[in-house]
Structure 1
Amino acid sequence: MSDVAERAGLSAQYLSEIERGLKDPSSEMLHAIAGALELEVPDVARRAASVLEATLATPVMGACQFVCVSGVFTGRG
C-alpha cells in the first residue's frame, strides 16, 4: 500500500483511511489513486462495485473483511 500511496502523492495512512471508508477522497484524489494503480477511475469504480456486490451477497462478511478482500486500492483486486 505504501508504494501506491507514494505514487499517488498521498500518505499511506490517508490511503488506508480511504480504503477503510473513514475518508471520502476528492475526484482529484481518485484520479491520483487510479493513476498510481495504472487504471482509469471507471475501472476502479467497476472493481469496487463488483466487490461490493459480492460482499452484499455474503452477509457474514464484515466491513473489515470487505476491505481486506477487496484489494481495490492496493491493486490486488
Structure 2
Amino acid sequence: MGEVIAFPAPEESVPTTWARSTTSTAEPLWREAVGHELREERRRTGRTLIDVAEQAGVSMQYLSEVERGRKEPSSEILGAVAGALGLRLVDLTARVTRTLARPSGPVCLAA
C-alpha cells in the first residue's frame, strides 16, 4: 500500500481568496487574477458595472462575482466582457499572465 498523507491543519490550509493569499506562498486562482484585471480596467476607464454588464450581455450581479473571483467565466463571457471594455481576449490573458508571473508575488485584491 501507499503512504497516507494527512490533510493540513486549518491554519495551514491553502487560502481560497486572493486577498488572503498575500499572507501565504500559495498562488492566486486564475479566476481571481482575471477578475482583478477586469475590475481594474473598468475602473481605469470610469465605467460602471451596469454599463459594462449591459454591453457584454451579462447580469450586473454575475459581472460583480466575476470581478471578485467568485465565478469561473467561460471564454465566451470573458470575450464579451473584455470586448465591452475595449480589450481583446488575448490582451486580457497577457495582462493576467504578467500579473501571475510577478516575482514579488500576488497583489492584494481586497476592495
Q: Which TM-score band (shorter chain)?
A: 0.5 to 0.7
Query: CA deviation digits over 1:28-71, x for unaligned, max 9?
Result: 101111111121101011122233344x6256x4342xxx5xxx
Q: Which runs of 5+ in 1 are unaligned?
A: 69-77
Structure 1 residue 13 corresponds to structure 2 residue 78: no
Amino acid paired to 2:80: A
Percent of aligned pairs with the same residue?
49
Q: Which runs of 5+ in 2 are unaligned?
A: 1-48
1:32 to 1:53, Cα distance in 2 relative to 1, 3 A:
same
- Determine which structure has more spread, i.e. the larger CA radius of gyration: 2
Greater relative contact order (Cα 8 A, min sep 6): structure 1 or 2?
2
> How well do the aligned residues superpose, as a CA RMSD in angstroms?
2.1
Q: 2:104 aligns with which of 40, 50, 57?
A: 57
Q: TM-score scaled by structure 2?
A: 0.48
Q: How many residues get paired?
A: 63
Amino acid paired to 2:76: E
CA distance in 1, matches of 2:63, 2:51: 11
Q: Whose helix proportion is higher, 1 or 2?
A: 1
